[in-house]
Amino acid sequence: MPNISEERSKPWRVELRQSMKVKERMAIPRVVMPSLDPVYRAQNNEEVNLGLTPELAVLEAKRCIDCPEPTCMTGCPVNIYIPQFIKQIEIGEFAEAAKTLKMTSALPAVCGRVCPQEKQCEAKCIHVRTGKDPVAIGHLERFAADYERESGNISVPEVAAPNGIKIAVVGSGPAGLSFAGDMVKFGYDVTVFEALHEIGGVLKYGIPEFRLPNDVIDVEINNLRDMGVKFMTNCIVGRTISMEDLKAEGYQGVFVGSGAGLPRFMNIKGENLVGIMSSNEYLTRVNLMDAANPESDTPVFKGKKVAVIGGGNTAMDSVRTALRLGAERAMIVYRRSEEEMPARIEEVHHAKEEGIIFMTLRNPIEFLGNEQGRVTHMIVQEMELGEPDASGRRSPVEKPGCTETIEVDEVIISVGVSPNPLIPRSVEGLQLTKWGTIVVDEETMQTDIPMIFAGGDIVRGGATVILAMGDGRKAAASMHEWLQGKSGVS
């Protein structure tokens, strides 16, 4: 691992810093990510953001002043060597920049696209403190990772000599994949078990193609395969194979990254009408089962007046998908105001550009249907913001007597997910919180059962890709240490 100040003192970095005044660097305006025309893109599944050109990337890289104490890094859950990779971009060493990313991140092309940068690394960039736009770290990260992938020269990280110790991973989402990547680098014999028929977790079945193309994920997965990770799809740990079976087969450590795949509903009248479904069902049909493709056997409703309930990334993905499937009115219905929306700012911005209708401070209280049981209307309660709650967000309260009836033919419920109960239910002795998440030691990610570690959404509830990855990495490091202590492996 590089020593930050040592790297920063290398002649090329010093020279580069001196080649341009800080003031000049700070004066360059932040790059604007080129994107597809909103009218065009709302009719297809093409990736919305086009990526930076090398010229734009180099220019944006110049904005980074290569801080002696890069505060940006404190905002990144996996501690990407941010100034280092940015300066490598500035001198045109794009492949080297990608290598720097890979030292700490298993999925840079993914994080560059989906991280809520405005709340993480970019929020901590020095530019923000001087009232300027932060360096576009996410865009640059995506640029370097894409450059490497498109060049076809993907560097396969070095793998230690096999030590023959079998390790099982439950779930192939970002937590499981990053754990697997690190463990295989340490020399373990790693097998990932996945319940679905595809590898990738939410990256495949949840986040749509127009935001995160499947090719991008597949390259990363193949990379792991090349490093020696084995994948077993259609295998549910706790059903197809039990923890006891895994132990009996000689697995010495298990990492649970089973995600938060249980959809929440609102429990209001009419919620089981035909045409009302969870965002998990909707996105799974479209993304995993390719239901919008006429060749596919799986059907999906293509509503004309679609309401999506919620204000998170999942809600934005659902509503923009509905638009792409031909909705004439695609609406977001959210009970707080836009300011409180948990979705990434970029998603809200893109949704608006595409013509999504935002109905904020509205909460559905009942769904109405026709004789066939199909949803036709939705009654919403108007809300206003009250006092801030424990989380500091102003909580919505009902405006008495103010309701509205809205015509809909499809409703997608996107009000959150709970931990997937399959594993917790099937492993005796695993300590759980009242929300059903698995309790781990925060430092080591180890559970009460020493051989079982866990991370990602199954520990945090619905969180983010990068936090899940960070957990996977942390768990790999501590499981490695634990196994070394136990058996003297090195």
Partner 1 sequence: MNKIISKEYFSDKVVRLEVEAPLIAKARKAGHFVIVRVGEKGERIPLTIADADVEKGTITLVVQMTGVSSTKLGKLEVGDSITDLVGPLGKATHIENFGTVVCACGGVGTAPMLPIVRALKKAGNKVITVLAARTKELIILEEQMRSLSDELIVMTDDGSYGNKGLVTNGVEKVLNREKVDLCVTIGPAIMMKFVSLLTKKYNIPTVASLNTIMVDGTGMCGACRVTVGGKVKFVCVDGPEFDAHQVDFDEMLMRLGGYKDFEREEMEKLSKLDKEG
Ligand X SMILES: Cc1cc2nc3c(=O)[nH]c(=O)nc-3n(C[C@H](O)[C@H](O)[C@H](O)COP(=O)(O)OP(=O)(O)OC[C@H]3O[C@@H](n4cnc5c(N)ncnc54)[C@H](O)[C@@H]3O)c2cc1C
Contacting positions for partner 1 (CB under 8 A)? 195-197, 233-236, 239-242, 261-263, 265, 267, 271-275, 277-278, 280-281, 284-285, 289-290, 293, 295-299, 372-374, 420-422
Q: Considering beta carbons, is residue 25 or 324 the nearer one to ligand SF4? A: 25
Q: Which stretch binds ligand SF4 (CB under 6 A): 64-72, 227-235, 272-280, 380-388?
A: 64-72
User: Rounded to whole angstroms, how far apart are CA atoms 485 and 490?
Assistant: 9
Q: Considering beta carbons, is residue 291 or 467 the nearer one to ligand SF4? A: 467
Least spacing, CB of residue 25 vs ligand SF4, in Å: 8
Q: Does 468 bind ligand X (CB under 6 A)?
A: yes
Supply angle C-alpha 47, 48, 53, rounded to 5: 90
Beta strand 410-413 with 189-193: parallel, antiparallel or unpaired? unpaired
Q: Which of 144, 194, 153 shows the shortest CA–CA distance to 173?
A: 194
Segment 164 to 183, residues that bind ligand X, using CB under 6 A: 170-176
Decide which of partner 1, ligand SF4, ligand X, none touches 193; Cβ closer than 5 to 8 Å per partner kind. ligand X
Report DSSP state, residue 356: -
Please, is 418 exposed, middle or buried when counting C-beta atoms within 10 Å of its C-beta (0-12, 13-18, 19+)?
A: middle
Q: Does 424 bind ligand SF4 (CB under 6 A)?
A: no
Q: Does 137 bind ligand SF4 (CB under 6 A)?
A: yes
Q: Which residues pair with 411 in a beta bridge?
A: 276, 307
Q: Which of 4, 16, 59, 67 is in the footprint of ligand SF4 by CB under 6 A?
A: 67
Least spacing, CB of residue 299 vs partner 1, in Å: 4
Q: Are 30 and 122 in contact (CB under 8 A)?
A: no
Beta strand 357-360 with 362-369: parallel, antiparallel or unpaired? unpaired
Q: Considering beta carbons, is residue 125 or 468 the nearer one to ligand X? A: 468
Beta strand 251-256 with 362-369: parallel, antiparallel or unpaired? unpaired
Kindly give the interhelix angle for 174-186 and 214-227, rounded to the nearest 10 degrees.
Answer: 30
Decide which of ligand X, ligand SF4, partner 1, none touches 457; Cβ closer than 5 to 8 Å per partner kind. ligand X
User: Rounded to whole angstroms, how far apart are CA atoms 204 and 218?
Assistant: 9
Q: Are 411 and 278 in contact (CB under 8 A)?
A: no
Q: Are 152 and 222 in contact (CB under 8 A)?
A: no
Q: Which residues bind ligand SF4 (CB under 6 A)?
A: 64-67, 70-72, 76, 78, 80, 82-83, 105, 111-112, 115, 117, 120-121, 125-127, 135, 137-138, 141, 466
**Interface with ligand X (CB under 6 A):** 114-116, 170-176, 193-196, 201-202, 206-207, 236-238, 257-259, 261, 283, 313-314, 317, 344, 420, 422-423, 456-458, 462-466, 468
